[in-house]
Amino acid sequence: MSHAKSPEFRTGNANGASDVVAPVVYEGRAPRAPGHLGAAGKEVWRNVWQAGSGAYSPDTDRNVILRYAELYDRRAELLGQVSADGLTQEGSTGQLVAHPLLRYVESTEREMRAIESAIGFTPEARMRLGLVAAEARKVAAGPEDF
């Protein structure tokens, strides 16, 4: 019958909790919204940073949040044009067809949903993000604060 190796003779990858790096909590103010964003994009920019509650970092998450805000602006512009033109248009043979820009609205919303999952704007992702942010705060605060 074999016995477990003593710790000084073990090789391979460690599987203990000591290798886990605590996530960083960003406690500063949200970065200023980029000037090229429209009104809808700026509002989304502020809302996302506020909703993140310290889970996002301007260094690492800025581009994802910027992309989401830009997509929100694109969606608002497309829907504004569809609203001005009407939901239907006359097709090539005189029949009524859906406005051609609705295709772009749909693809924009598909991209937005993917980012929403990544940044915690779905119930499951929000729960996962909330757990990460809470754990990061707990680690950052230290055991004496709890």
Query: Residue 17 falls within a domain, yes or no?
Result: no
Instruction: Tell me, yes or no, if the pTM score tops 0.85.
Output: no
Query: Residue 53 falls within a domain, yes or no?
Result: yes
DSSP 8-state assignment for residue 89? E
pLDDT of residue 117: 86
pLDDT of residue 110: 97
Q: How many domains does the chain have?
A: 1
Query: Residue 23 falls within a domain, yes or no?
Result: no
Query: Residue 45 falls within a domain, yes or no?
Result: yes
Query: Residue 121 falls within a domain, yes or no?
Result: yes
Nearest to 69 by CA among 47, 46, 41, 39: 41
pLDDT of residue 119: 80
Query: Residue 146 falls within a domain, yes or no?
Result: no
pLDDT along the chain (146 residues), means of 10: 69 57 56 94 91 78 94 98 95 94 97 89 74 62 58
What single string gives the DSSP state of each residue in 61-87? Answer: THHHHHHHHHHHHHHHHHHHHHHHH-S
pLDDT of residue 132: 60
pLDDT of residue 86: 95
Query: Residue 97 falls within a domain, yes or no?
Result: yes
Query: Residue 75 falls within a domain, yes or no?
Result: yes
pLDDT of residue 22: 47
Range of the domain at 109: 29-140
CA distances from 106 to 5, 13, 41, 114, 131 (A): 59, 46, 18, 13, 31
